Amino acid sequence: MKTTATSLFLSLTAAAALFAGGAQAADIAHDASYYGSGVAAKAADRTVVIKPTTRWVNVKNGETVTFASGDQNFTFHFDTYPQTQVVKLNTIAPDGVNVAPVRVYVADTREVTE
């Protein structure tokens, strides 16, 4: 009986450690390359103007967008993993480009087949 209790305790401890590790992995910060890449402005499908009141914008996965904020702008092509739904704009902005705390909601453009 003591061996069974010890085995159960070790199994539960191992499961708890794996769960805790998984929870921490979800909080890992990714750099811009995880979401796509910076590209030349001429490749943009559209331009989104970021105003001081802007809190979020919508884009589609596969879309190329120029973000303009004041006198600064940058162009980004979204190529995210299907489970990626939200990106912080300052995460994908190049160094030296200051943007407000804006969330970019990325729509999955994969076709659904039955």
Helix residue ranges, H only, 26-103: 89-92
- Enter the pTM of the model: 0.70
Query: pLDDT band for position 76 (50/70/90)?
Result: very high
From residue 35, alpha-carbon distances to 29, 38, 49 in Å are 11, 10, 20
pLDDT at 26 over 50: no
Lowest mean pLDDT among 14-23, 35-44, 49-58, 62-71: 14-23
**DSSP-derived secondary structure letter, 102:** -
* Kind and range of the H or E run holding 65: strand 64-69
How far apart (Å, rounded) are the C-alpha atoms in residues 93 and 97? 6
